[in-house]
Structure 1
Amino acid sequence: MRRFWDGLAGVALVLWIGGMWAIGYVAAPVLFANLDDKQLAGMLAGKLFALMAWIAIAAASYLLIYRVVRDGGAALKTFFFWAVALMLALTLAGHFGIQPIMQSLKDQAMPHAVMQSVFADRFARWHGVSSILYLIQSALGLLLIWRSGLAR
């Protein structure tokens, strides 16, 4: 039975990190490069990022519980545990903190696109903060994959 839980942990990690990279660095840029309607591209990218946030929350929760059950208190002394915990915290901050602020700015800009409104500067700042948090998560995720041996 342990092989199943070990395998599920590997799948959760790959789904989470692979999804982050695929959406953040492939799908979203393709949307913006190929759709003339940037508002539509942003809406679609936002939906993909929201889906990834829920996948991240589920995967991180499983991975943290799995490691504590498997390793006991020793799990709290590992890079893996704290990297996953930090990535989860950044996901929660982005999804439940930053994204609602950005959505509020979009809503206030209506009927215009937020980037053609008086809220453009504030939206760009929050988008920048969100992008930096995503970059940190992506780098930590890559490091987790590398160190877990899944990249070999």
Structure 2
Amino acid sequence: MRQIGRPVFALALTLWVGALWTIGGIVAPVLFSSLADRSLAGQIAGRLFSAVGWIGVGAALYLILFIVIERGSQSFRGASVWIVLLMFLLTLASQFGIQPILAQLKAEAFPREVMESLVRDRFAAWHGISSVLYLIQSGLGGALVVLEATSPRR
């Protein structure tokens, strides 16, 4: 498993963290600065963040499995597995907790735009929580990349 497992590990980690940084740091800001329709920019960004969430779910499951198989009883003594687990939990909280709340608030606001409705403040609060969790996840991903890149190979 090691011959193919380690390269797949590197690819999964690169895909997940790269997607987090690219969508959150480049694509979403460009959408909001380029499109006159902020609602459309939000819809597109929401779909992209959802896709990143699903990438995170798949990548996290593989990364955890690989770490446990490769390192055995030592898995939970190193920082890598804990970082991946925390990132995974943040992804799950966003995908299955916060995103459904935001979708419900948008539905309650319809036919108005959510930021022009009575649920604006609740939407902004949940959006802020989501943004902070995403930022934490992105930082943890960067730390994991550095940790894995500098750790000695077994």
TM-score grouping bracket, smaller chain normalisation: over 0.9
Whole-Å separation in 1 of the counterparts to 2:61 and 2:110: 37
Deviations 1:77-97 (A, max 9, x none): 110000000000000000100
Deviations 1:36-57 (A, max 9, x none): 1111100000000000000000
Q: Secondary structure of the residue that 2:36 maps to in structure 1?
A: coil
For structure 1, list consecutive stretches of 5 or more residues without a partner in the other structure: none
Q: How does 1:28-67 map to 2 (within 5 A)?
A: 28-67=28-67
2:8 paired residue number? 8
1:90 paired residue number? 90
Structure 2 length-normalised TM: 0.95
Shift of 1:129: 0.3
For 1:21, give the aligned amino acid: W
Q: Is the 8 A contact 2:2 2:70 kept in 1?
A: no
Shift of 1:2: 1.7
Q: How does 1:1-152 map to 2 (within 5 A)?
A: 1-149=1-149
Runs of 4+ in 1 over 4 A off after TM superposition: none
Q: Secondary structure of the residue that 1:70 maps to in structure 2?
A: helix
Structure 1 length-normalised TM: 0.96
Alignment RMSD: 0.9
Count of equivalent residues: 150
